[in-house]
Amino acid sequence: MSKKVLVLAETREGSLRNVSFEAIAAGKMIADGGEVISVLIGNGITDVVNELVAYGADRVITVEDAKLEQYSSDGFSQALLAVIEQENPEGIVMGHTSLGKDLSPKLASRLNSGLVSDVTAIEADGDSPKFIRPIYSGKAFEKKVIKDGLTFITIRPNNIPALEKEDGRSGDVSSVSVDITDLRTIIKEVVRKATDGVDLSEAKVIVAGGRGVKSEDGFKPLKELADLLGGAVGASRGACDADYCDYSLQIGQTGKVVTPDLYIACGISGAIQHMAGMSNSKVIVAINKDPEANIFKVADYGIVGDLFDVVPLLIEEFKKVKV
């Protein structure tokens, strides 16, 4: 049965995050031929509406206000609630990102509706869609079916492929005006960490370092390899605890959960808490000088050796391929 589905778009510094396009693809599967409406909340954001249409949105609704310049739980929930009231959808999809993890349970509880979080795949074969999500830190998967009622879905970035971009596709664009009041948090300034390059949670390639990297300088070859492959640098908590890198790079149970196409683990032992954040990566390469290291149990390719020998060799070889 076809459904009307709202999909929340996410921007960062004026650009749409990839997960916005993946959420549209997820919305299409849930809508089953029904309407997929992208909702864009912020201030001065209208430049990107055509991109949402090109990636499959049938309509775009914007909510703009100076108070929505930065994300706040109160502001964005007021904005999205106004669109939900106007459109009365059957499903609402957003990324399983910091924003989605904050907003979805808050609104689901406010509206007394369902929430399926951290969805990595959707089976839509005409019946009610089945939402597949990892449980027990990725060791097993469960399938959930929601029979009726409004349901919030958060999708894990990098798992549900976006649709092919179709430039010139047309779709309606309208706006909803909302009086944003009673903000309990006012963000005065956002100070960004001095990390450059690709966003770790959306990176297709991650080169991660552990305690085996031994120092802050030890991360330099990993960064060079990541840059060469268009990827991002990540880390184990061991490396963060040792002060070799910032905690924003931590991957694992208490860090970021990532699913890149390629994960290269360098000097990481493979503790269960680390694997909870990366074991669903599509291809895992592990470099470790201990042949018994646990990380080899999840690796597709294992290299037993010193990372300070192996990583420069990889850089050399990838440079040849790139030329």
192 is annotated as contributing to ligand binding: no
> In angstroms, what is the minimal distance from the CB of 102 to ligand FAD?
19
239 is annotated as contributing to ligand binding: no
271 is annotated as contributing to ligand binding: yes
3-state secondary structure of 176: coil
255 is annotated as contributing to ligand binding: no
> In angstroms, what is the minimal distance from the CB of 211 to ligand FAD?
3
Beta bridge partners of 123: 130
Of 34 and 238, which CB lies nearer to ligand FAD in the complex structure?
Answer: 238
252 is annotated as contributing to ligand binding: yes
> In angstroms, what is the minimal distance from the CB of 279 to ligand FAD?
12
Quick one: DSSP state of residue 191? -
Of 27 and 210, which CB lies nearer to ligand FAD in the complex structure?
Answer: 210
> In angstroms, what is the minimal distance from the CB of 236 to ligand FAD?
3
CA distances (Å), origin 9, targets 29, 71, 105, 172, 295: 17, 12, 17, 16, 35
Contact predicate 92/152, CB 8 Å: yes
109 is annotated as contributing to ligand binding: no
Of 260 and 277, which CB lies nearer to ligand FAD in the complex structure?
Answer: 277
96 is annotated as contributing to ligand binding: no
Beta bridge partners of 38: 7, 60
Of 166 and 290, which CB lies nearer to ligand FAD in the complex structure?
Answer: 290
Q: Which amino acid is at 25?
A: A
Question: C-alpha angle 169/170/171, rounded to 5°?
Answer: 130
> In angstroms, what is the minimal distance from the CB of 242 to ligand FAD?
8
Angle, helices 98-110/73-87, rounded to nearest 10 degrees: 60
> In angstroms, what is the minimal distance from the CB of 270 to ligand FAD?
7
Phi, psi for 47 (deg, rounded to 5): -55, -25
- The site for ligand FAD (CB under 6 A) is made up of 210-212, 236-239, 250, 252-255, 267-269, 271, 273-274, 277, 287-290, 293, 306-308
270 is annotated as contributing to ligand binding: yes
> In angstroms, what is the minimal distance from the CB of 224 to ligand FAD?
16
214-247 burial, b for 16+ CB within 10 Å, e for fewer?
beeebbebbbbbbbbbebbbbbbbbbbebebbee
253 is annotated as contributing to ligand binding: yes
Residue 156 exposed, middle or buried by CB count within 10 Å (0-12, 13-18, 19+): buried
3-state secondary structure of 93: strand
Question: What's the sign of the alpha-carbon dihedral 260, 243, 102, 196?
Answer: negative
Of 101 and 289, which CB lies nearer to ligand FAD in the complex structure?
Answer: 289
Of 138 and 267, which CB lies nearer to ligand FAD in the complex structure?
Answer: 267
Of 100 and 255, which CB lies nearer to ligand FAD in the complex structure?
Answer: 255
- Binding residues for FAD, as ranges, are 211, 236-237, 250-254, 267-274, 288
